[in-house]
Amino acid sequence: MFQKIGKATRDKLARLGIRSPFDLLLHLPLRYQDETHLYPIADAAPGQTVLVEGIITHASVTYKPRKMLAVKIRDASGTLQLRFLHFYPSQVATFTPGVTVRAAGEVRHGFFGAEMVHPQCHVVKKDTPLAEALTPVYPTTQGLSQATLRKLAGEALRQCDLKDTLPQAIRAALRLADFEDSIRLLHQPPPDVSPAALDERNHPAWQRLIFDELLAQQLSMRLHYRRRHARGAPPLPSGKTLTAALQARLPFALTGAQQRVAHEISADLARPHPMQRLLQGDVGSGKTIVAALAACQAIENGFQAALMAPTEILAEQHFLKLSAWLAPLGINVAWLTGSLGKKDRTAALEHIASGAAQLAIGTHALFQEQAIFSRLGLAIIDEQHRFGVHQRLALREKGKAADAPHASPLTPHLLMMSATPIPRTLSMSYYADLDISVIDEPPPGRTPIVTRLVDNARREEVFSRVRDACMQGRQAYWVCPLIEESETLQLKTALETCETLSQTFPELAIGLVHGRQPAADKAAAMAAFKSGDIQLLVATTVIEVGVDVPNASLMVIDHAERFGLSQLHQLRGRVGRGAPQSTCILMYQPPLSETARARLKIIYENADGFEIARHDLRLRGPGEFLGARQSGVPMLRFADLERDQALLDPARAIAEQMLAEFPEHAELHLTRWLGLQQEFLKA
**Is there a single domain that holds both residue 119 and residue 196?**
no
- The confidence band for 395, taking pLDDT boundaries of 50, 70 and 90, is low
**174-205 as b/e, with b when 16 or more CB fall inside 10 Å?**
bebbbbeebbbbbbbbeeebebeebeebebeb
Show which of 408, 439, 470 is a domain's final residue. Answer: 439
Angle at 562 between CA 559 and CA 566, to 5 degrees: 115
Residue 259: how many other CB atoms lie within 10 Å:
15
**Is there a single domain that holds both residue 13 and residue 47?**
no
Task: Examine the pLDDT at 649 and tell me if it is beyond 60.
Answer: yes
Average pLDDT of 50-72? 92
Task: Examine the pLDDT at 43 and tell me if it is beyond 50.
Answer: yes
Cβ-based neighbours of 547, under 8 Å, separated by 6 or more = 313, 317, 526, 574
Residue 392 lies in a domain: yes
Residue 465 lies in a domain: yes
Residue 234 lies in a domain: no
Residue 233 lies in a domain: no
Domain that holds residue 42: 37-130
Min mean pLDDT across 134-148, 449-463, 645-659 is at: 134-148
Model pLDDT for residues 273-329, shown as the tens digit of each residue = 999 899 998 877 889 999 999 999 999 999 999 999 888 878 888 998 899 999 999
Average pLDDT of 339-345? 87
Query: What does DSSP assign to residue 330?
Result: T
**Is there a single domain that holds both residue 257 and residue 192?**
no
**Is there a single domain that holds both residue 189 and residue 305?**
no
**Is there a single domain that holds both residue 298 and residue 377?**
yes
Distance CA 138, CA 363 (A): 45
Average pLDDT of 378-384? 86
Q: What is the pLDDT of residue 609?
A: 86
Report how far Cα 217 is from the mean position of its chain's Cα atoms. Answer: 16
Alpha helices in 472-564 (DSSP H): 487-504, 519-531
Please report, for the domain that includes residue 65, its CATH number: 2.40.50.140
Largest CA distance in the chain: 95
Residue 668 lies in a domain: no
Min mean pLDDT across 96-100, 261-265, 608-612 is at: 608-612
Q: Is residue 625 a contact partner of residue 632, using CB atoms and an 8 Å limit?
A: no
pTM: 0.76
Q: What is the chain's alpha carbon radius of gyration, rounded to the nearest angstrom?
A: 31
**Is there a single domain that holds both residue 105 and residue 156?**
no
- The confidence band for 494, taking pLDDT boundaries of 50, 70 and 90, is confident
Model pLDDT for residues 87-96, shown as the tens digit of each residue = 888 899 999 9
Q: Is residue 275 a contact partner of residue 417, using CB atoms and an 8 Å limit?
A: no
Distance CA 585, CA 144 (A): 51
The residue among 127 and 660 whose pLDDT is bigger is: 660
Show which of 557, 586, 606 is a domain's final residue. Answer: 606
Please report, for the domain that includes residue 429, its CATH number: 3.40.50.300
Distance CA 278, CA 255 (A): 19
Which has the closest alpha carbon to 414: 616, 576, 236? 236
Min mean pLDDT across 182-196, 507-521, 537-551, 589-603 is at: 537-551
Among 33-37, 218-222, 621-625, top mean pLDDT goes to 218-222
Number of domains in the chain: 4
- The confidence band for 79, taking pLDDT boundaries of 50, 70 and 90, is very high
Distance CA 334, CA 344 (A): 10
Distance CA 426, CA 424 (A): 5
**Is there a single domain that holds both residue 461 and residue 484?**
yes
Residue 235 lies in a domain: no
- The confidence band for 402, taking pLDDT boundaries of 50, 70 and 90, is very low
**Is there a single domain that holds both residue 269 and residue 181?**
no
**Is there a single domain that holds both residue 352 and residue 261?**
yes
Q: What is the pLDDT of residue 226?
A: 85
**Is there a single domain that holds both residue 484 and residue 541?**
yes
Show which of 545, 578, 606 is a domain's final residue. Answer: 606
Residue 112 lies in a domain: yes
**1-20 as b/e, with b when 16 or more CB fall inside 10 Å?**
eeeeeeeeeeebbeebebee
Distance CA 209, CA 206 (A): 5
Residue 579 lies in a domain: yes
Fill in the amino acid letter for 242: L
**Is there a single domain that holds both residue 524 and residue 474?**
yes
**Is there a single domain that holds both residue 52 and residue 157?**
no
